[in-house]
Structure 1
Amino acid sequence: MRLSSLLIIAMTFFAAAVVSLVAANFSVKLIEESSEIGVRDALDGEGMTWAEVEADGLQVTLAGVAPTEAVRYKALTTAGSIVDAARVIDLMEVEAQAAIAPPRFSAEVLRNDSGISIIGLIPASTDRESTIKKFANMAGEANVADLLEQADYPAPEGWEDALAYATSAIAQLPRAKASIAAGRVSITAIADSVEARAEMERVLKRRVPPSVELVIDIAAPRPVITPFTLRFELDEDGAHFDACSADTDAARARIVAAATRAGVTDTPRCTVGMGVPSPTWSTAVEQAISAVERLGGGSVTFADADINLIALPGSSQATFDRVVGELENSLPPVFALRSQLPKVQDPNEGPPEFTVTLSPEGQVQLRGRVNDAALRELADSYAKARFGSDRVYTATRVAENLPADWAPRVLTGLEALAALSNGSVTVTPNALSVTGNTGNPDASTEIASLLAGKLGEGADYDISVNYQEKLDPVLGLPSPSECEAQIGEILKTGKINFEPGSATIDSSALSIMDEIADILKRCGDLPLEIQGYTDSQGRETMNLALSQSRAESVLNELRARRVLTGTYTAKGYGEENPIADNGTEAGREANRRIEFRLLRPDTVAVPDETTLESAAQSGDTENQTSEEGTSDEQN
């Protein structure tokens, strides 16, 4: 009985404990839910929907990414107003803020006769001392004004390339300004002449790196034009200038506008120069062009103050008199007008005639009269077959009442002309004449036999053919020594240039290679050595390799021009055999060269005074430095 009572009591306590535990869990869940819901509602009410709320017992955890630190603190404060702030766990992050934008780096370099000044803001990573030292080498340390500021921000892309290019460019321009920005250089300069400006622009453009945008504005004095010339023509082919000069940009604009009104469709080239005979030049030109337009065609030529106006043949005499009279009375003082109205020639005047001419360049023109369209086509086809289809121009016309033997006489004349190097043939009803030059000493005999056989006995013909040894395909070939002399004449006025630090021939020298190739094609097999040389700057081994590559490059250019080079060799001599002082820039430039040398049986492999030479300069005209890298590039 007693044991039973104890069991009942124990079970009662156990049941009470279970009930208490269940009640406690329920209370905790209730508190978690109410806390989480309350905090979430409060945050949503403040517009902080980014915040994530999670309750764990009495603790409330806030997570998510706050847009700013102030917003994160506001979220903590809002949650603390709902539950005890000590129960809030902060796991929130703050969104990364963009870094402060770096300043715009730029600099301006001004160089004149007084020295060099540089002003601007550059990155701290730029080697300022090295840059200033380069300018000091150009103008002297005392003549460099350093007004640069530096900022500790990363250098933008293209900045260092732009600065390096502008520095090297200023070294070549004694009077210039360079504006430098990341990836961009603007250069304003003054040249001594139009030719000097063109050379400056060529050098600057050739050396600009791919990462740099270059803007060039180089001023040059206007050329002196003597005489001040202009020629305007309006014919069946349209309106155009053969020559155009103006004294100012405004005058050029007025002249071009007048030409446009008269029918010029493209943008004509009109040179602005000095030497105009009168400030009213453009007024006189406008009036003269307008007169040509009103005449319906013709030409007007200005040579200083002299004007020559020629109307088209067949123009109305009344219109010609009126237009010329108006022009004479309106022209500014100083200008003198001479006018012509050519008469129309009757095509049937005089005896019928057929002429064909062959120019020294191989161009053939057929003019005059033929019996019918069939003969015109036959003569044209025959000429194209003998002289080349792209070299024949036919301007014959069909006429009546020509002799019965006109066709064979025309074709015989064409055949006779083919025996000449240049000349002409004229066919008339009663005679045939052949004149010209030839390299065949037997040409006169052969032509006479041809005419006698084709035209028959008693035919009247005249042959005036001159034999010229230089046209002889055998005797006209130059000797090896003459080939040397001819190439030497070319190289007196031209140079074979290479791109800086490379064996690639510069485009400016390709025309020289064309001329040399034309001579060598006529010279046949020559024991020729193409020799490459450098100056003494840089390592000897690198100079030797560069000179060899350049000599081979010249040889390859000749092969590309279909020159037979089986007897040619290419050899680099590096810095050997200097022809000038390597201690000066002019001397080093002279030593960087290509030589063409004829190898004679009694010669040895060293250049002599008769060597053909071309100063093969690298194009790098920067001031020399003592560093090997720079010297190797200049070689």
Structure 2
Amino acid sequence: MTHKPLVRIIAAGTVLAAALLSLGTAVLAVRAIEARTAGEVRAALVADDITWATVTPDGTQIHLSGTAPNEADRFRALSAAGRVMDGTLVLDEIEVTPSLPLDAPQFTVELLRNESGISVIGLIPREIGRAPVVAELEKIAKNLHVTEMLQTADHEVPPDWQAAVEFGMEALKRLERSKISITAESVAVTAVSDSAQEKAKVERELRRVAPEGLTVLLDISAPRPVIVPFTLRFRMDATGARFDACAAESRTAADRILAAARAAGMTARADCEVGLGAPAADWADAVVTGIAAVVELGGGTLTFSDADVSLVALPDTDARLFDTVAGALEANLPEVFALKAVLPPSESAQSQEDGAGPREFIATLSPEGLVQLRGRIPDTLSRTAAASYARDRFGREQVKDGLRLDPDLPTGWPLRVLAGLEALAQLRNGALVVTPRGLNLRGLSEVEDTQARVTRILTDRLGEDAALDIDIAYRAPPEPAETGPTPEQCVAQIEAIVAEQKIIFAPGSTRIEGAAVRVIDRIADVLRACPDARIEIGGHTDSQGREEMNLTLSQQRADAVLTALIARRVLTSNLTAKGYGETQPIADNDTEEGREANRRIAFRLLPPPDAAAPGQEDDAEDTTRADPDATAQGEPAAGDDNAADTPPEDGPSQGETPKASPTDESPEAPAPDTETETTDGQD
């Protein structure tokens, strides 16, 4: 019996040992399972190229920790572990790297304007909204359609965004065929203008009003003008080498011609007008050959007027050298060109021929438009013709005649005088001197291409071999004033100008010339200070001639005035031109005085767009913008106020309906608006 407790102790110890052994075996088994599961999870993560995750086994569970680059990588790690074991046993302890703040959206607007309307597309700040942008575009488009494809984003407005948009809108106003790309940092403008002058004017204006710090990219093209006659005049004498006029058919040809002139000694800045109308494809070859001939002579004048070429040597040039050079030039010129070579008499021979006292005609034009004629004229008829021509060009009250007769003047003197007066009329102020040896013109103009235009006029009138000395300086018109008079004050100033001098056209013509040039100059000075004044330039005729012809003529003349203002760098976005023909008489067309009063150019102040009554069209909507290329050449109009088919003055023929007089109570003869008028007294 004494052994039973011992047996029990041994049995209990055996059971305990077995239990401990089982527990140890179980622990080892669990650890083996944990290690195997963790290893499989790690292998799955490595297979998915996930190296940042840490796997920690915890019995039947797995702790997955680490810092994932983003939410997508975190999800990939959990998915990889879930493929190995039950996903509910995977404890997610993964952290995610904080994401960077979102980049601000790139706000941008694309504007497209053409004859059919305006389109806008882009992304703009929601704070600004689409409505203000569309409203501004509708003002610019007037009656044209606006296609809006804008989106908005709720983000802070960039600091310079509003200034960039306002500048883009300003560019859109001035360019009727354009594409404008706007960001907060830059505005890119791609457009087509009506002429090279308009292109240069718009570029200057846009650069002047561009906000500080804004990058402005301008790509404005212009059609090449037709140059008639196609003229080049190169001179070389003791004062140096220079161009009076230079035309070329391409930029490459112009560069070749300018390079030849610089090689000949030209140091002054010069350029060639590129345009259409060259008489031959090898124009540049002919000009370069001619310049080389002038250099070989030691000086002279080379003139091309279309295919006619003139080489005039300096006085006292050796006759044998002249014959050699002239012969070589004639042989080397391309076949289409015809050469006329002139060797003037020597200085001593010319002095003996001139005799005592200066034989010259002098005309001076002051900045105020006053003209003085003095010097010699061959006979009474020529004197009357010169004085009448000057009064027609410059105004009757502006001309003072101090001429005296000299019957021994050279042949062709009156023609030189009249051609010189026509050239002088193109200037703001200047002086003309005609001598037996040639014509000298000096002066100032506010239109850039005046020297070339004057050269074309004189060579066309006097021949390409005429001895011409032309020196016309260009002065840019003053910039528009930042602050100026009110629109009403502007119109009042124009009234005062046209009360002194009328805008006059030759019969059937649309060319601005003579006294009208100075009237336009003075009106331009006023309008530069009034860029916001909405003014209509109205053309009116009397009732003589066909109604359709009169309407066409009045529109062309109104366009000509607008084009002349454009050439003088006047802001024309608020100016319109409209022809009314004979529909708005202000006097009785049955008398000559009444018809003269009805033939006029009228300047009328238009109300602001917001002031128009609802549903009422703006007066300017039917107006036509001037085409500088269409009117600058001064082509005759389709009809004239005094056309040949004018009805008899003693009344209409049988079957005709008489036209209403201004006193008839008819809607065809409305009472005129308050307007500034200039009468065309030469129709």
Q: TM-score, normalised by structure 1?
A: 0.44
TM-score by length of 2: 0.41
Relative contact order (alpha carbons < 8 A, sep ≥ 6): 1 or 2 greater?
Answer: 2
Structure with max Cα Rg: 1
